[in-house]
Amino acid sequence: MAEQFAKAFKEIGVHFQDIFSRLFGGGTAHLALTDKEHILEAGVEIYIRPPGKKQQSLTLLSGGERALTVIALLLAFLAYHPAPFCLVDEVDAALDEANVERMARYLKNYSGATQFIVITHRRKTMEAANTLLGVTMEEKGVSRLLTVKVDELLKEGT
């Protein structure tokens, strides 16, 4: 079990560094175990250095930087062991526009292996979607579902 964990931890760490760098437009990220002798009981430490900054603890980052780091870690897990779909709820809420755009572009490029269902209010995230589903309430107590297939609209428009 320890061997399997060590192998998976190493691979996820490589994915984490790559995805972190893509989402942040540079920088470094590293996962480390708190106890290398007893890896099954060890904790995990995250060391990151956003571009143009010094290496720091997750707690010292802005809310947006923390959110983007956690998104990178989630995507690293998915890169290691892809799931058929991934549901995230307002994962982009704390991100600024540039980071929303990078995250949305990454999800769109990665969507061949995993279908992402993203609940969002952010325009840039919606622009990257293949299909948009919206819920409106035209009259009290009656919800209506709207579906827009973005890919089909783009084909019709060209």
Residues 14-59: pLDDT tens digits?
999 999 999 999 999 999 999 988 999 999 999 999 998 898 878 8
pLDDT at 156: 64
CB distance 56 to 27 below 8 Å: no
Q: Residues in the chain with pLDDT < 50?
A: none
Residue 62: per-residue pLDDT: 85
| Beta pairing, strands 44-49 & 85-89 | unpaired
Report the C-alpha dihedral over residues 82, 62, 47, 86, rounded to 10 degrees. -10
| pTM greater than 0.75 (yes/no) | yes
Which pLDDT score is estimated for 136? 86
Domains of the chain in sequence order: 2-127 (3.40.50.300)
pLDDT at 154: 59
